[in-house]
Amino acid sequence: MKRIDPLGIYGLWLRDVTRFVRTPSRIIGALSMPLLFLVFLGFGFEGAAIPGLPEDVDYLEFLVPGIVGFTMLFGASFAGLSILSDRDVGFLKEILVAPVSRTSIVLGRIAGGSTTAFLQGILILLFSIPLGFRFTSLLSLPLAFVFLVLIAVTFVGFGIALASQFRDSEGFMLIVQFIIFPLFFLSGALFPIQGLPGPVQYLAYVNPLTYGVDGLRAVLIGTSSYPVAVNAGVLTLSSVGMVALGAALFERVESV
């Protein structure tokens, strides 16, 4: 069994993308929560004095990269969920009995899940424009895409690693709620992490989303806590690590 099977990976990716574009209701559902956060927090805290916020930065500008990161978390949890719902409907067996390696299956699922999470992030970015969000320059967009991909791969990898430890989707969704929100609040998505109490700040430093949101801010609005290269480096490491973890844990998944 080849470790990497491009055709199988492509097939699984195509399946995820086909299903995503075919079900608008799912897209709307995935975007509604981040949009609510964006609209209510964006307008509610407009002009508020938030400690640590750079003076020349509007709160909405500060918030948009954070909400994009939040959207990616949601997208990633759906990718994990899709593995479990495949088991629920029996389709997982069809995939597991095929002559493709578990690694290829995980790569295919991560590719598909990351693509749909990426598309959701882009959609949130587009929605933010009519709300008043302005990019510093269009040239920064390709770099922003790189960050979106790295965030997506990191958290989809994490979602699949986590999903492989569950046998049914209900337990998984319950746990996911307890994971998504701490990751979100401890990432500097809503306010600068310098505002957090000292010990809690350290939790933010080990959260890959912190570097994802900071990197997006650097390239989209031109302000950040860390250099772009540091953010990109940390995220690259975390995405590689999460893919490896997902592949290792999925290896042990039993279909029956």
Partner 1 sequence: MSAITVEQLTKEFGDVTAVDELSFTVESGELFGLLGPNGAGKSTLIKMLVTLLRPTAGTATVNGHDIHDERSAVRDSLGIVFQEPALDEELTGAENLALHGRLYGQRTDERNRRIDEVLELIDLEDERDELVEHYSGGMKRRLEIGRGLMHEPSVLFLDEPTVGLDARARRDTWEYIQKMNAQSGISIVLTTHYIEEAEQLCDRVAIVDDGDIVALDSPAELKSSLGGDVVTLDLESDDSIPRLCDHLETASWVTDYTTAAGTAHVTLTRGESRIAELVHLADDADVRITSIDLHRPNLESVFLSVTGRTFDEREGDGAVAGTGTGKYEGEQHTASTDSPCHNDAAPSVERQQ
Interface segment toward partner 1; rule CB under 8 A; list 12-20, 41-49, 64-72, 146-154: 12-20
Tokens of 224: 């950040």
Q: Residue 231's closest CA among 250, 207, 256, 253?
A: 207
- Other Cβ atoms within 10 Å of 253 Cβ, number: 19
Residue 247 binds partner 1, judged by CB under 8 A: no
Q: In the range 17-56, which residues lie near partner 1 by CB under 8 A? A: 18-19, 22-23
Amino acid at 191: F
Q: Residue 83's closest CA among 241, 246, 245, 240?
A: 246
Residue 4 binds partner 1, judged by CB under 8 A: no
Per the CB < 8 A criterion, the answer to whether 140 and 219 are in contact is yes
Per the CB < 8 A criterion, the answer to whether 96 and 105 are in contact is yes
Could you tell me the smallest distance in angstroms from the CB atom of residue 14 to partner 1?
7
Interface with partner 1 (CB under 8 A), residue from 32, 36, 93, 126: 93
Radius of gyration of the chain (CA): 18
Amino acid at 175: I
Residue 7 binds partner 1, judged by CB under 8 A: yes
Q: How many residues lie near partner 1 (CB under 8 A)?
A: 26
Could you tell me the smallest distance in angstroms from the CB atom of residue 103 to partner 1?
13
Interface with partner 1 (CB under 8 A), residue from 17, 57, 58, 91: 91
Could you tell me the smallest distance in angstroms from the CB atom of residue 241 to partner 1?
27
**C-beta closer to partner 1: residue 9 or 64:** 9
- Rounded CA-CA distance 5/226 in Å is 38
Tokens of 161: 């690693």
Residue 194 binds partner 1, judged by CB under 8 A: no
Interface with partner 1 (CB under 8 A), residue from 46, 94, 168, 251: 94
DSSP track, 200-247: HHHHHHT-HHHHHHHHHHHHHTS--SS-HHHHHHHHHHHHHHHHHHHH
Could you tell me the smallest distance in angstroms from the CB atom of residue 253 to partner 1?
11
**C-beta closer to partner 1: residue 85 or 140:** 85
Per the CB < 8 A criterion, the answer to whether 78 and 113 are in contact is yes
Per the CB < 8 A criterion, the answer to whether 120 and 20 are in contact is no
Could you tell me the smallest distance in angstroms from the CB atom of residue 18 to partner 1?
7
Could you tell me the smallest distance in angstroms from the CB atom of residue 174 to partner 1?
24
Determine which helix (DSSP H) or strand (DSSP E) holds 173, and give its type and residue range.
Answer: helix 169-185
Q: In the range 61-90, which residues lie near partner 1 by CB under 8 A? A: 89-90
Residue 97 binds partner 1, judged by CB under 8 A: yes
Interface residue list for partner 1 (CB under 8 A): 1, 5, 7-8, 10-12, 14-15, 18-19, 22-23, 89-91, 93-100, 255-256
